[in-house]
Amino acid sequence: MNILLIDDEPFSLKLLQRQLRNAGFDRVFGFEYAREALAALQAEDARPDVIICDLQMPDLDGIEMLRHLAQAQFAGGLVLISGEDERVLQTAQRLAHAHQLHVLGALHKPVEPRRLTRLLEQHSSRVPSRNHNPRPSYDAGQVKRALQQNELINFYQPKVDVGRGTVSGVETLVRWLHPTDGLVGPDQFIATAEENGLIDALTKTVLQQALTQMKSWRETGMNFQVAVNISMDNLVNLEFPDWLADSARDAGVQASSLLLEVTESRLMRNRLLVLDILTRLRLKGISLSIDDFGTGFSSLAQLRDLPFDELKIDQSFVHGAWRDPSLRTFFDGSCNIGRQIGLKIVAEGVEDQSDWQFLREVDCDLAQGYFIARPMPAEQLPDWISDWSRHPN
């Protein structure tokens, strides 16, 4: 594993270098100047697997470094170190995530060698050989063809009742089963679909598949609510509520088993139209959830104006809220608002045992996240449910 270490304090740099070598990491390249490290990064033959970077550097600070790494499409692991307080380190970590950099962890100076080597060992065991190629993106023609060839399939991620431990529903998450590239995630094709007028067809495909699936689950006695994601930006068709209610009826599925998770990615162009459509969906018995609450445009104004049934607290306010007082404040605040207007509260981003334990101690109805289950194909769900009901976490 190639490790690139950047720290402007020569003593601290040498110390870390020695500690890493003692721990068995022998290809450690140390730099006192961030600009030199960046130049080394451009040399294709010795791309590092991990970069350990101090946030305070005189020539180029850690935040600028993150930006350069994102531009260079650095796909390896990143460890941030800093002598500043916890919030600076956390903000830098969030910034790195936003740049889609893969952050292994953030450590305080002086760095505890055991914590650092643990992060590196976890990384090397998880990613034996990292693929540095950026993920492919697809053009409108390819996405259109995928729709025509029925290559889009739904995965389903369970939502569980925190108090009772039972499965209350699933969220539908679309995947593209690409003939040569394998399983492709929505972040690689949804934007293309939105920009090229294909999102309506895509959303309808996902909904139709979900309805068919709900029918066959019902026939085997699995009755739960199925959520489908929808963006307000795409709600431009007044026929949509009727289309959905008719499709549900044709599939033999009750409208009340269907939930739409609503997000907004840009400013709404036509507020009145969206209000009309969402309200009529509600009148037809379809439930509405405000998704990723607390981020982007998923705001208090939406909550005030639209007839939601459920509030999904964004994962960035859930994961780690048990140990971070400021996250905890935002989490509690969101719960309180939701409660007071009578909404069901869902926490996204339950990634570990501590998150799950935290949710069991606060006032939250449902939970969802990798710790409970990853999104899975429909046929894996019955087995997962029987496992979960035997050993709920």
Q: Strand, helix or coil at 376? A: strand
Q: What angle do CA 349, 346, 369 make, to 5 degrees?
A: 25
Crossing angle between the packed helical segments 86-98 and 62-71, to the nearest 10 degrees? 10
Q: Which is nearer to Mg ion, 82 or 225 (CB)?
A: 225
In angstroms, what is the minimal distance from the CB of 369 to Mg ion? 12
Beta strands in the chain (DSSP E): 3-6, 28-31, 50-54, 77-82, 102-108, 152-161, 167-178, 182-184, 225-231, 258-263, 287-293, 310-313, 344-347, 366-367, 376-377
The contact set with Mg ion (CB under 5 A) reads: 229, 261, 291
In angstroms, what is the minimal distance from the CB of 182 to Mg ion? 23
Q: Which is nearer to Mg ion, 66 or 372 (CB)?
A: 372
Q: Which is nearer to Mg ion, 212 or 231 (CB)?
A: 231
Residue whose entry in the numeric block shows the structure tokens 């101090």: 54
In angstroms, what is the minimal distance from the CB of 241 to Mg ion? 20
User: Nearest-CB residue to Mg ion?
Assistant: 261
Q: Which is nearer to Mg ion, 124 or 295 (CB)?
A: 295
In angstroms, what is the minimal distance from the CB of 289 to Mg ion? 8
In angstroms, what is the minimal distance from the CB of 261 to Mg ion? 4
For residues 321, 325, 331, 334, the Cα torsion angle rounded to the nearest 10 degrees is -170
Nearest in space to 158 (alpha carbons), one of 213, 104, 226: 226
In angstroms, what is the minimal distance from the CB of 345 to Mg ion? 15
CA 289 – CA 139 distance, rounded (Å): 31
Q: Which is nearer to Mg ion, 261 or 310 (CB)?
A: 261
Q: Which is nearer to Mg ion, 105 or 369 (CB)?
A: 369
